C-alpha cells in the first residue's frame, strides 16, 4: 500500500544525493525507473482492492493526534494509476528532452517525483488534514515547476498566478476540514460522523478549492499563464494530474456524504460553463500550448459535468473521461513540446509543414487529436459516448446540447492546430532552422500514451471493468456500468437509440477528415474550408491558424469580454492597491512623525474601551 | 554535585516547552552570530550586546521562572534598544529613541498591570480589574507591536541592520510573547472577561499589518509589518486559550522566530551583495543571490503557513482555534488576512528575487552566511514534515 509512495520518495532522495555524480540523462533514467516502480506497485494493488474493496492502515503520527491514515480504494487507484502511469511515460520522454538543459535538472526531477508522491498521498489519505497537506504540496511543486526557468520574467509571472489562484482558493479546503473537525471531532472522512457534519457551506468551500485546482470557470485563468513551464510539466501537471486533484476531491465527496440536488445543479452549471468558455477561448489561440491549455479547461468541464450528474453512469463517464484525458492530452502536450524542442517556437503563425520533417510526431499527434475530438477507435470516443449516454439517461438535455456544441468547436480548433502545425508548406519562419524529429525516448513516451489511447478506445472494457466500475462502487453506488468493444454499448440501454446514432455519424465524419489529412502528402497545400464564399483572387490557398483565430476573435469579441474573469480580478487588485496606498499615505507619515503623542492618545482610547467593556 | 542538583531542580521546575524554547533561541542566536561573521551587522559593541541578550533570553526562558524571568527578558529588551542605537546612523538613533520610550512605557504598563492583577485566577475588585487589563493590553501591545501600538517596529526595521531586527522580533519579542501565553494560563480572567477587546487587537494587527505591508516598497519595512500581521494570529491563539489555541500560538511563535531570521537574513545577505537597501525596484536577485532567494521563499511560505513548511503546524491550529471561537466567520477573516499576506510575499518574491536581473554581476554569496540560511531552510522543511518533533513538547 505504501510502496508507491516509498519508491517515489526514494527517487527524490537519490536524485538529491547523486546530483553531482549523475549526468542529466542518468537522472532522467533514474526518475523514470522510480516512476515505473511506483506504477508497478500501484498495479499490484488492483487484485486486492477488487477483492477486499479497500486497504486500510495507519502509517505514522505526523503531528500530535494527527496520524497519517490510508484508505486505498478503487477511486484512489484511478488517480494513483493516472499519476504514476502517465507520469512514467512523461519521465521517459524527459530523458531526451532534459538532456541538454544547462542546469536545474536535479531540481526538476526531484520536484516531478515529489509531485507524483504528493498526488499519491492525496488520494490515499483518509485524514482530510493530511489530504490538504498533500494538496498544497502538489500546489507548491506546480508553482516551482512552472517557474522552473525562473530567470525568465514570463515563467516567473506564470508561477505567481498559479500560486495565488490555487493557494488562496485552497483555504476553502482547509477551512472546510477544520470546520468539519470542529463539528465532528475527526479528520477522517471514513468516519460517518464527518459525513453527518456536512453542510452546503462546507460543500461550497471544498468546491471552490476543487474549482481552482481543476480550472473550473471562473477560477481557470491561471492555466494559460502556466504554459511557460517546460512542456513535460504541462503534460503531467496541466493535463494528467494536477488538474485532476479537484476532480478527485469532487468525486470523493460522494463517498463522504449524499449530495443535495442543488449541489448537483451547481456542479452541472459550472461544468457546462467551463466546457463552453474553454473551447471558445481555445479557438482564438495562436500559441499551441495556450490552445491546449484552454482545451484542458474545456475538457475538465466535461469531466466535472459527468461527475455532477451524480448517477452511476455519470460518475463512470467522469472517471473514464479523466483517465482518457490524461492520456490523450498528455500526448498532445508532449507533441507540442517536441515541436518547440525542434523549432524553437510554439506559435502556430510560425509553424507549418512539420509532418514532413517530424512524421512520427505528426502521426502521434493525429491519434491524440482524434481522441480529443472523439473519433471512434480512440478512448476519447468511448469517454464521450459514456458522457452523452449518462446525460441523456438523466434527461439533462441542456447538457447534451452544450456538449455537442463544444464537441464541434473542439473539432474545429484541433483541426486548426493540426493543419497549422503539420500541414501545408513549411513555414518561412523556419527557414534555416534544422527541424528534427523527436529523440528516441521522447518518441517512446509519446507513443506509449498514444497507444494506450488507442487500446482503451478499442477495448474500453479493460478500464471499465478493472478500474472505473470498482471506483463507482467505492463511491457508494451500485455500479452496473459496463461497456463493450469500441465503447459502443454502455449497458444503460436507454440512450443509444436517440442520440447515439447521430453522434457516431458525426464522429465518423470527423474521423474521415482526420484520415484524409493523414493521407495528404505533407508537402501539399491544404484546401481549406472558406466559409462558403470563394477566396478572393490572389489570396493564399490555405487559411492559416491566424486567419481562424482572427475570425473567431472578431465574431465572438463580446463573448470574450464577458467571460474573462481576469478583468474582474485585475480591477479588484487595482482597487485594493490604490485604497492601500491612500491609507498608507494618510496614516504612516503622521504616525511616524509623532509616535509618542499618538501612543498616548491611543492608550487613553484603550483605557476607555476597557472601562466600558 | 550541588551544581548538578541545582540544575536538575531548575530543569524540573521549568516546563518542557520553556526548555525547548530556550534551546531554540540558543540555536537562533548561534545562527545569527555565525551569519554576522561574513555579513557584518555592527561593531564590537554589537557583538557584546548580542552575547548579553542571548544569555539573558536563553537563561531567562529555560532556567528561571517568575519575576526573575520577567526581569531578565525586560533587560534583554532594553539591551535590544542599545543594539539599534549602536548602529550609529541618525535614522537608527531616532528609531532607537522611539523604541526606548515606547518600550519603557510598555514595560511600565505591564509591570503595573501585573502587580494589580497579581497573577491570580480571580480578578481583583472593580475598578482595579479594568485598570489592570487596560494596562496589560497597552503594555503588551507596545512591547509586541500590536496595532495600533506598532509604530516603533517599522522604524527600527528600516534603520537597523537586518539581523538586528531579526534578533529583536525572533527572540526578544517571542520570549515576551511566551510570557503573555503564560499569563493566559495563570490568570485566564484577563482574557476571558475581555475577549472582545483582545480579539479586536488581534484582528486589527492581522489586517493592519497585512494592509500596511502591502503598501511598503522597502523590504525590511514590509517584513516588519508582516511581523505585526503574524502577531495578530498568535494573539488570537492566546485569547482562545488552553488546548488548540495556546498550542497554535506557541508553535506559531516558534515558527515565526525561525522564519523571521530566514527572511531578514536573506534580505541582509542580498543587501550585503548589492550594496543598497532592498526595495521593490530591485529585480531578479535570484541570479545573483541564489541562497538568499531560497531562504526568502522558504521564509515567506513558512510565515504564510504553506505545507510542508513548519509554519503550517502552528497555522492550522490557529485556524482551528478560530473555528472553535468564532466559527466560519472568524476562519473566513483569518483566511482573508492570510491571502493578503500571500499577495505581499509573492509580490516581493516575483518582483525582487525572480525574473531577469537588473543589477550588475556580484561576487558569490559568502559561503558561511549561505550555509546558515540553507541549514535553517532545511530545518524549517524537516520540522514541517515531522512537526511532532516540536509539538510533542507544547502540551
**For A279-298, how does the pLDDT look when each residue is reduced to its tens digit (9 = 90+)?**
999 999 999 999 999 999 99
Closest CA–CA distance from residue B366 to any residue of chain A (Å)? 21
CA distance B326 to chain A (A): 11
Q: Which residue of A has its CA nearest to B247?
A: A64
Cβ–Cβ gap B323/A591 under 8 Å: no
Chain-chain contact of A164 with B342 (C-beta, under 8 angstroms): yes
**What does the DSSP assignment read for B231-287?**
HHHHHHHHHH-TTHHHHHHHHHHHHHHHHHHHHHHHHHHHHHHHSS--BTT---GGG
Query: Mind giving me the DSSP string for A326-345?
Result: HHHHHHHHHHHHHHHHHHS-
* B134/A63 touch (CB, cutoff 8 Å), yes or no: no
pLDDT, greater one: A103 or B81: B81
Average pLDDT, chain A: 90
Confidence of residue A562 (pLDDT cuts 50, 70, 90): confident
Q: What is the ipTM of this complex?
A: 0.94
Q: Which among A595, A603, A613 has the least Cβ separation from residue B98?
A: A595
A10/chain B closest Cα distance in angstroms: 15
Among A61-65, A317-321, B368-372, the range scoring the smallest mean pLDDT is A61-65
Whole-number Å distance between alpha carbons of A80 and A245? 11
Query: What is the reported pLDDT for A484?
Result: 77
List, for residues B82-140, the tens digit of each pLDDT value.
Answer: 999 999 899 999 999 999 999 999 999 999 999 998 877 888 888 899 999 999 999 99
Question: Chain A interface, mutation test: which of B104, B150, B213, B215, most A Cβ atoms within 10 Å?
Answer: B215
pLDDT digits over A151-170, tens only?
Answer: 999 999 999 999 999 999 99
For residue A572, what are the contacts with CB-CB under 8 A and spacing of at least 6?
Answer: none
pLDDT average, residue stretch B149-153: 95
Q: Which of B312, B335, B395 sits opposite A175 (nearest CB)?
A: B335
Q: Which of A335-349, A489-503, B358-372 has the lowest mean pLDDT?
A: A489-503
Q: Is A415 on the interface with B (CB under 8 A)?
A: no
A512 cis-preceded (ω within 30 degrees of 0): no
Q: Which of A599, A602, A604, A607 to mutate to test the interface with B (most CBs of B within 10 A)?
A: A599
From chain A residues 148-167, the ones with a CB under 8 A of any chain B CB are: 150-153, 156-157, 159-160, 163-164, 167
Q: Summarize the confidence of residues B285-313 as an average pLDDT.
A: 96
What is the number of CB-based contacts under 8 A between chain A and chain B? Answer: 151
Residue A246 above 70 pLDDT? yes
* Interchain pair A599, B151: CB under 8 A: yes
Binary contact (A140, B306; C-beta < 8 A): yes
Contact A45, A71 (CB under 8 A): no
Chain B residues touching A160 at Cβ < 8 A: 346, 349-350
Instruction: Provide the sign of the torsion angle of the four alpha carbons A158, A159, A165, A166, taken in this order.
Output: positive
pLDDT of residue A103: 87
pTM: 0.93
Please, which residues 120-149 of chain A have a Cβ atom closer than 8 Å to chain B?
Answer: 129, 132-133, 136-137, 140, 147
Question: Cβ of B320 and A613 within 8 Å?
Answer: no
Which residue of A lies nearest to B313 if distances are taken between CA atoms?
A63
Helix/strand/coil (H/E/C) assignment for every residue in A241-294: CHHHHHHHHHHHHHHHCCCCHHHHHHHHHHHHHHHHHHHHHHHCCCEHHHHHHH
Position B11 scores a pLDDT of 45
Residues A301, A306, A311: CA angle, nearest 5 degrees: 160
Amino acid at each position: 500500500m505504501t510502496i508507491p509512495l516509498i519508491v517515489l520518495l526514494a527517487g527524490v532522495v537519490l536524485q538529491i544525493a547523486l546530483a553531482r555524480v549523475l549526468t542529466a540523462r542518468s537522472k532522467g533514467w533514474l526518475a523514470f525507473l522510480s516512476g515505473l516502480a511506483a506504477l508497478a506497485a500501484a498495479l499490484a494493488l488492483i487484485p486486492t482492492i477488487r477483492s477486499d474493496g479497500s486497504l486500510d492502515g495507519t502509517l505514522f503520527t505526523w503531528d500530535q493526534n494527527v496520524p497519517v491514515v490510508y484508505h486505498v480504494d478503487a477511486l484512489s487507484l484511478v488517480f494513483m494509476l493516472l499519476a504514476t502511469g502517465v507520469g512514467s511515460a512523461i519521465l521517459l520522454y524527459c530523458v531526451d528532452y532534459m538532456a541538454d538543459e544547462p542546469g536545474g535538472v536535479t531540481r526538476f526531477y526531484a520536484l516531478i517525483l515529489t509531485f507524483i508522491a504528493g498526488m499519491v498521498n492525496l488520494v490515499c489519505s483518509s485524514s482530510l488534514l493530511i489530504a490538504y497537506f498533500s494538496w498544497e504540496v502538489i500546489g507548491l511543486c506546480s508553482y516551482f515547476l512552472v517557474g522552473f526557468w525562473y530567470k525568465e520574467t514570463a515563467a516567473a509571472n506564470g508561477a505567481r498566478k498559479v500560486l495565488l489562484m490555487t493557494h488562496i482558493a485552497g483555504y476553502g479546503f482547509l477551512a472546510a476540514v477544520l470546520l468539519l473537525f470542529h463539528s465532528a471531532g475527526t479528520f477522517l472522512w471514513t468516519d460517518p460522523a464527518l459525513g453527518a457534519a456536512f453542510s452546503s457551506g462546507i460543500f461550497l468551500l471544498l468546491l471552490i478549492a476543487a474549482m481552482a485546482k481543476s480550472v473550473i470557470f471562473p477560477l481557470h485563468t491561471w492555466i494559460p499563464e502556466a504554459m511557460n513551464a517546460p512542456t513535460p510539466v504541462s503534460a503531467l501537471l496541466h493535463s494528467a494530474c494536477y488538474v485532476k486533484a479537484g476532480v478527485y476531491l469532487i468525486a470523493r465527496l460522494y463517498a463522504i456524504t449524499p449530495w443535495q440536488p442543488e449541489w448537483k445543479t451547481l456542479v452541472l452549471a459550472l461544468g457546462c460553463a467551463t466546457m463552453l468558455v474553454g473551447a471558445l477561448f481555445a479557438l482564438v489561440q495562436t500559441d499551441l500550448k495556450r490552445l491546449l491549455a484552454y482545451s484542458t479547461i474545456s475538457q475538465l468541464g466535461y469531466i466535472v459535468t459527468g461527475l455532477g450528474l451524480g448517477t452511476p453512469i455519470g460518475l463512470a463517464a467522469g472517471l473514464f473521461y479523466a483517465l482518457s484525458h490524461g492520456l490523450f492530452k498528455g500526448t498532445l502536450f508532449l507533441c507540442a513540446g517536441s515541436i518547440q524542442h525542434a523549432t524553437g517556437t510554439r506559435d502556430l503563425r510560425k509553424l507549418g509543414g512539420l509532418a514532413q520533417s517530424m512524421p512520427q510526431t505528426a502521426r502521434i499527434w493525429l491519434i491524440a487529436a482524434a481522441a480529443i475530438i472523439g473519433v471512434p477507435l480512440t478512448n476519447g470516443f468511448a469517454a464521450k459516448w459514456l458522457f452523452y449516454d449518462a446525460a441523456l439517461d438523466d434527461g439533462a438535455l441542456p447538457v447534451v446540447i452544450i456538449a455537442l456544441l463544444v464537441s464541434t468547436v473542439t473539432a474545429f480548433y484541433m483541426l486548426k492546430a493540426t493543419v497549422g502545425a503539420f500541414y501545408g508548406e513549411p513555414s518561412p519562419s523556419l527557414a534555416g532552422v534544422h527541424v528534427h524529429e523527436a529523440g528516441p525516448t521522447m518518441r517512446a513516451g509519446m507513443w506509449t500514451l498514444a497507444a494506450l489511447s488507442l487500446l482503451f478506445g478499442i477495448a474500453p472494457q479493460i478500464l471499465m471493468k478493472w478500474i472505473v466500475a470498482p471506483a463507482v462502487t467505492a463511491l457508494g453506488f451500485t455500479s452496473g456500468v459496463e461497456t463493450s468493444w469500441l465503447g459502443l454499448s454502455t449497458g444503460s440501454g436507454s440512450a443509444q437509440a436517440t442520440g447515439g446514432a447521430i453522434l457516431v455519424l458525426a464522429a465518423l465524419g470527423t474521423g474521415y477528415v482526420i484520415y484524409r489529412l493523414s493521407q495528404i502528402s505533407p508537402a501539399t497545400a491544404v484546401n481549406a474550408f472558406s466559409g462558403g464564399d470563394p477566396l478572393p483572387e490572389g489570396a493564399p490557398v490555405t487559411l492559416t491558424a491566424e486567419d481562424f483565430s482572427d475570425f473567431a476573435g472578431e465574431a465572438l469579441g463580446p463573448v470574450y469580454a464577458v467571460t474573462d474573469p481576469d478583468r474582474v480580478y485585475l480591477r479588484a487588485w487595482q482597487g485594493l492597491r490604490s485604497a492601500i496606498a491612500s491609507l498608507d499615505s494618510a496614516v504612516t507619515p503622521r504616525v511616524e512623525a509623532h509616535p509618542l503623542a499618538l501612543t498616548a492618545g491611543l492608550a487613553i482610547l484603550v483605557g476607555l474601551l476597557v472601562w466600558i467593556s | 554535585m550541588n551544581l548538578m542538583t541545582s540544575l536538575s531542580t531548575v530543569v524540573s521546575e521549568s516546563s518542557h516547552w520553556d526548555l525547548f524554547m530556550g534551546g531554540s533561541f540558543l540555536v537562533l542566536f548561534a545562527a545569527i552570530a555565525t551569519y554576522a561573521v561574513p555579513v557584518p551587522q555592527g561593531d564590537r559593541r554589537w557583538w557584546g550586546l548580542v552575547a548579553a541578550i542571548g544569555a539573558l533570553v536563553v537563561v531567562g526562558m529555560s532556567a528561571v521562572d517568575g519575576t526573575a524571568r520577567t526581569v531578565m527578558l525586560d533587560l534583554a529588551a532594553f539591551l535590544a534598544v542599545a543594539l539599534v542605537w549602536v548602529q550609529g546612523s541618525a535614522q537608527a538613533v531616532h528609531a532607537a529613541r522611539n523604541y526606548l520610550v515606547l518600550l519603557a512605557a510598555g514595560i511600565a504598563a505591564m509591570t503595573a498591570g501585573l502587580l494589580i492583577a497579581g497573577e491570580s485566577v480571580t480578578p481583583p475588585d472593580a475598578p482595579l480589574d479594568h485598570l489592570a487589563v487596560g494596562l496589560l493590553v497597552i503594555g503588551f501591545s507596545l512591547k509586541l507591536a500590536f496595532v495600533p501600538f506598532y509604530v516603533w517596529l517599522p522604524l527600527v526595521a528600516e534603520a537597523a541592520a537586518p539581523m538586528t531586527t531579526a534578533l529583536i522580533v525572533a527572540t526578544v519579542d517571542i520570549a515576551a510573547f511566551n510570557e503573555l501565553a503564560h499569563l493566559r494560563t495563570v490568570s485566564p480572567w484577563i482574557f476571558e472577561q475581555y475577549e472582545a477587546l483582545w480579539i479586536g487587537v488581534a484582528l486589527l494587527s492581522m489586517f493592519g499589518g497585512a494592509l500596511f505591508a502591502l503598501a511598503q516598497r522597502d523590504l525590511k519595512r514590509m517584513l516588519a509589518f508582516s511581523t505585526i500581521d503574524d502577531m495578530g494570529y498568535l494573539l488570537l491563539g492566546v485569547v482562545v486559550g488552553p488546548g488548540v489555541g495556546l498550542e497554535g500560538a506557541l508553535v506559531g511563535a516558534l515558527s515565526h522566530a525561525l522564519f523571521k531570521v530566514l527572511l531578514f537574513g536573506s534580505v541582509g545577505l542580498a543587501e550585503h551583495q548589492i550594496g543598497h537597501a532592498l526595495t521593490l525596484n530591485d529585480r531578479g536577485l535570484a541570479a545573483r543571490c541564489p541562497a538568499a532567494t531560497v531562504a526568502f521563499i522558504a521564509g515567506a511560505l513558512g510565515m504564510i503557513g504553506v505545507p510542508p513548511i513548519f509554519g503550517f503546524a502552528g497555522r492550522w491550529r490557529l485556524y482551528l482555534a478560530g473555528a472553535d471561537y468564532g466559527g466560519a466567520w472568524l476562519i473566513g477573516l483569518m483566511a482573508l488576512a492570510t491571502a493578503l499576506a500571500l499577495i505581499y510575499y509573492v509580490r516581493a518574491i516575483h518582483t525582487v528575487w525572480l525574473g531577469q536581473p537588473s543589477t550588475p554581476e556580484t561576487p558569490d554569496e559568502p559561503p558561511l552566511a549561505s550555509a546558515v540560511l540553507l541549514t535553517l531552510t532545511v530545518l524549517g522543511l524537516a520540522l514541517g514534515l515531522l512537526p511532532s518533533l516540536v509539538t510533542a513538547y507544547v502540551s
